[in-house]
Chains A and B, each alone.
Chain A
Amino acid sequence: MSNPSHHTAAHPEHTQGSAHNSRHFWIGSILAIVLTAVPFWLVMTGVLRDMQTTAILIFALALIQIVVHVVFFLHLDTRSEGGWTLLAFLFTAVIVVLTIGGSIWVMYHLNANMMPMPADGVAQMHDMSGNH
């Protein structure tokens, strides 16, 4: 019942939204160019002597740029496809963070705990394999 009226209402909005869409797109493009150029500039010139600050900064810029691309180029918002694209995106974002963050976290600690093998421990292992 409400569907047809919704559609007739949505149509003019769609056609007149063309100019708005194009402005939206160019804002996104300029933001994308700036957000790409700045991290390269930071790393290639080494303006910030501190590497850790540079790393944190380019990490933040990458996250911002991903959001800019998703919003301005993929047009993700709360309304598109009845909100299902946003839901799928958020679900994916959670899985991506868990996969990457979890893997690096677990493997870093595993690595750190395996590393300090005492020299006599190594010698003992060699002896054992030699005696066999």
Chain B
Amino acid sequence: MSDAITETAAAAPVWHVTEEHAHEHGGSGPTILGFWIYLMSDALIFASLFAMFGVVSTSFAGGPQPRDIFDLPLVALNTAFLLASSITFGAAIPHIEQGRVGPTRAWLAITGLLGAAFVGIELYEFAHLFAEGATPQRSAFLSAFYTLVGTHGAHVTVGLIWITVMLVQVGQRGLIPENRRRLMCLSMFWHFLDIIWIGVFTFVYLFGVIR
């Protein structure tokens, strides 16, 4: 009886230690899964914003309609910048894995510049819409539009700050395991924002124009 108890007591820590060791060895431990769960919860925020936009997307209140205010060539340019930034981040991944600091920082900087161009064009678009009187107060459609697209834009801006921080950290400390882990999370975050943008350009801009 007492033998069995000591055996389980002794067996449990051994199993636990091995498991923990395996995680350490595997790379970033639970961080990647945890960050994935965060991205999924962020996806739910965007789902509710898309749902709201879907419900009021034809509530124009006599105000401007998507066909009148959306400039598709500009949106196409914006989409190209964001997609290109996703690809340039992907191009940095092999350099991160093989510990090459120079090319990592170069690709990261290019990604940041493309992301900044995206945010710049979006702000230009918003300023243009405001000048035409298409403000969030004008109709439910415009309120939902600014909330959805603005939330995405705010995420991209946070991503840009994160890229800047990583450029400095990689410059100071090199590609230490902590920085690699952070860059992997940033990579997931950046690709995730591009996925949300697929929904935005399809359901907000393209659907709006053909309606």
Please give the residue numbers on chain A whose beta carbons come within 8 Å of chain B beta carbons, in ascending order: 3-4, 7, 18, 21-22, 25, 28-29, 32-33, 36, 39-40, 43-44, 51, 54-55, 58-59, 61-62, 65-66, 69-70, 73-74, 81, 84-85, 88-89, 91-92, 95-96, 99-100, 102-104, 107-108
Contact = CB atoms under 8 A, between A and B. Distances in A.
Contact of A62 (B37, B47, B202, B210): B202
Given A22-B94, A104-B55, A32 B86 contact: yes
A3 B37 contact: no
Sorted nearest first, the 10 A-B pairs with minimum C-beta distance are: A103-B51, A62-B202, A92-B40, A96-B47, A73-B191, A107-B55, A104-B54, A99-B47, A3-B22, A100-B51
B48 A99 contact: yes
Interface in B39-95: 40, 43-44, 47-48, 50-52, 54-55, 72-73, 76, 79-80, 83, 86-87, 90, 93-94
Contacts, number: 115
A56 B129 CA distance: 28
Contact of A95 (B25, B44, B55, B83): B44
B72 A40 contact: yes
Which secondary structure characterizes the binding site on chain B?
Answer: helix
Nearest to B90: A25
B204 to A, nearest CB: 11
Interface of B: 18-19, 22, 25-26, 32-33, 36-37, 40, 43-44, 47-48, 50-52, 54-55, 72-73, 76, 79-80, 83, 86-87, 90, 93-94, 97-98, 188, 191-192, 194-195, 198-199, 201-203, 206-207, 209-211
A55 B207 CA distance: 7
B79 A69 contact: no
A18 B83 contact: no
A88 B199 contact: no
Nearest to A107: B55
A96 B43 contact: yes
A104 B32 CA distance: 34
A103 B55 contact: yes
A102 B47 CA distance: 11
B54 A88 contact: no
A36 B36 CA distance: 25
Contacts of B22: 3-4, 7
